[in-house]
């Protein structure tokens, strides 16, 4: 049997306007908002790299220059820190530019996630590739992408990430109809629907922002009409692949039960920062002590 091509490319859509975070995102991309002390996007690139994907393509748009600058050298800052002999801060500055081979393409018109992914076609070519959405952060101790790559290498086709959510939450996500397989954390996808009303949802399996896609997705996306919200939806293209295997192989789902931090809206973003700050070895112990006292006081004051 011919060996399947190894997956080495990650695509990160980052063209959104970030309107939920205005005015912070008027002149700063939402991907650059700090989660504790690192921009959200750096966690995502680090996750791709630790899954072995060191070729990263970001789909950007207007006003996204700070993303490119963040993953590039900053000689002025580096030489200032060098002169001061501040090795630990220098390492922090250099970390993001040494991470991966970065590429950028602009989306032009924001026509939806499916359209953003289609912009990656010339760079990706004919290999399977990963897509990581910046609003979802996955705890490095619960590796998801590695597992998805493993399943793609076993079965071919495409692999999506799923999480069980409360039925009243399913309208916020793509939703999958699933069939069990012999492996406990793997399901076969028989259908997908973008952000259904709870009454029409085929399950409570929500699509979360990690995908390993067969390159045939591009052919399907070229033919995909605008769907929910008038946008070209990745979920709709995956629905085509799932229901017509001849197009690009099967679609499997990995059911994720690990730690996921959502930074998509202000409430989730605040929760993500608190949770991640508590986990940090340097900041956590002191922050947790403060938080315990603060929460105790807040609750007692009702
Ligand atoms: C996108 C996808 C949706 C998925 C979600 C995961 O939606 O379209 O299927 O469930 O990401 O975060 P968005 O959150 O960008 O509206």
Confidence label for 174 from pLDDT (cuts 50, 70 and 90): very high
Q: Is 113 in the pocket of ligand 1 (CB under 6 A)?
A: yes
* Confidence check: pLDDT of 170 > 70: yes
Q: Report which ligand 1 atom has the smallest distance to the Cα of 136.
A: 12
User: 51 in ligand 1 pocket by Cβ < 6 Å?
Assistant: no
221 and 288 part of one domain: no
Cβ-contact 119, 105 below 8 angstroms: yes
Instruction: Give CA 264 to chain center in angstroms.
Output: 11
pLDDT, tens only, 278-302: 999 999 999 999 999 999 887 777 6
Taking the CA of residue 208 as reference, the ligand 1 atom at the shortest distance is 6
Per the document, the length of the chain is: 302
| Residue 300 counted as domain residue | yes
Q: What is the pLDDT of residue 260?
A: 94
Q: If you measure from the C-alpha of residue 126 to the centroid of ligand 1, how many angstroms do you get, rounded to a whole number?
A: 25
Q: What is the mean pLDDT of residues 22-40?
A: 95
Read off the tokens for 20. Answer: 């939920």
Residues 225 and 300 in one domain: no
- The per-residue pLDDT for 145 is 97
Checking if the pLDDT of 3 tops 70, the result is: no
Q: 189 and 277: one domain?
A: no
| Residue 207: inside a domain | yes
Instruction: Give residue 113 CA to ligand 1 midpoint distance, Å.
Output: 8
Task: Specify the pLDDT at position 297.
Answer: 86
Compute, in angstroms, the gap from residue 16 CA to the centroid of ligand 1. 12
- Which atom of ligand 1 is closest in space to residue 206's alpha carbon? 10
Burial annotation 203-226 (CB, 10 A radius, 16+ → b, else e): bbbbbbbbbbbbbbbbbbbeebee
**Are 293 and 160 part of one and the same domain?**
no
pLDDT at 39 over 50: yes
Instruction: Assess contact for 50 and 100: CB atoms under 8 A.
Output: no
Q: Residue 301's domain spans which residues? A: 265-302
CA 56, 258, 146 angle in degrees (round to 5)? 35
Q: List the structure tokens of 210.
A: 């990690």
Q: State whether residue 213 is helix, strand or coil.
A: strand
- What are the beta bridge partners of residue 255? 162
Q: Whose C-alpha lies nearest to ligand 1, atom 10?
A: 173
Could you give the percent of the chain with pLDDT greater than 70? 98
pLDDT value of residue 110: 85
Residue 1: per-residue pLDDT: 45
CA torsion 93-12-145-282 (nearest 10°) is 30
Q: For residue 174, how far is its CA from the centre of ligand 1 (angstroms)?
A: 6
Cα of 182 from ligand 1 centre, angstroms: 28
pLDDT band (50, 70, 90) for residue 153? very high
- 48 and 69 fall within a common domain: yes
The pLDDT of residue 5 is 60
Average pLDDT over every residue of 67-75: 96
pLDDT score at 62: 85
Could you tell me if residue 199 is inside a domain?
Answer: yes
For residue 4, what pLDDT is reported? 57
- When divided into structural domains, the chain yields a total of 2
> How far is the centre of ligand 1, averaged over its atoms, from the C-alpha of 296 (Å)?
35
* Residues 288, 144 share a domain: no
Q: Is the CB of 136 under 6 A from ligand 1?
A: yes
Residue from 132, 173, 193, 263 whose mutation best tests the ligand 1 pocket (most atoms within 8 A of CB): 173
Ligand 1 in contact with 209 (CB < 6 A)? yes
Residue 269 has pLDDT above 90, yes or no: yes
């Amino acid at each position: 049997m011919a060996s399947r091509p190894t997956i080495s490319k990650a695509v990160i859509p980052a063209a959104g306007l970030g309107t939920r975070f205005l005015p912070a995102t008027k002149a700063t991309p939402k991907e650059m908002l700090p989660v504790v002390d690192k921009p959200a996007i750096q966690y995502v690139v680090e996750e791709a790299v630790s899954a072995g994907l060191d070729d990263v393509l970001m789909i950007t748009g207007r006003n996204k220059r700070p993303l490119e600058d963040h993953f590039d050298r900053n000689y002025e800052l580096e030489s200032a820190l060098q002169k001061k002999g501040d090795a630990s801060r220098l390492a922090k500055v250099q970390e993001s530019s040494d991470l991966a081979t970065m590429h950028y393409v602009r989306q032009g018109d924001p026509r939806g996630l499916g359209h953003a992914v289609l912009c990656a076609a010339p760079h990706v070519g004919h290999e399977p590739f990963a897509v990581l959405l910046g609003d979802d952060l996955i705890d490095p101790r619960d590796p998801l992408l590695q597992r998805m790559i493993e399943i793609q290498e076993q079965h071919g086709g495409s692999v999506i990430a799923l999480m069980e959510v409360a039925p009243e939450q399913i309208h916020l996500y793509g939703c999958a109809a699933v069939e069990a397989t012999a492996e406990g954390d793997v399901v076969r996808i028989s259908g997908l629907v973008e952000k259904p009303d709870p009454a029409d949802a085929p399950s409570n399996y929500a699509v979360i922002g990690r995908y390993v896609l067969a390159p045939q997705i591009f052919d399907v996306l070229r033919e995909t009409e605008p769907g929910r919200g008038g946008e070209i939806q990745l979920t709709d293209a995956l629905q085509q692949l799932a229901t017509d295997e001849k197009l690009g192989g099967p679609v499997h789902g990995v059911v994720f039960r690990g730690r996921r931090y959502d930074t998509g809206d202000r409430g989730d973003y605040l929760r993500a920062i608190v949770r991640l700050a508590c986990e940090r070895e340097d900041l956590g112990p002191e922050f947790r002590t403060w938080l315990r006292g603060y929460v105790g006081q807040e609750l007692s004051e009702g």
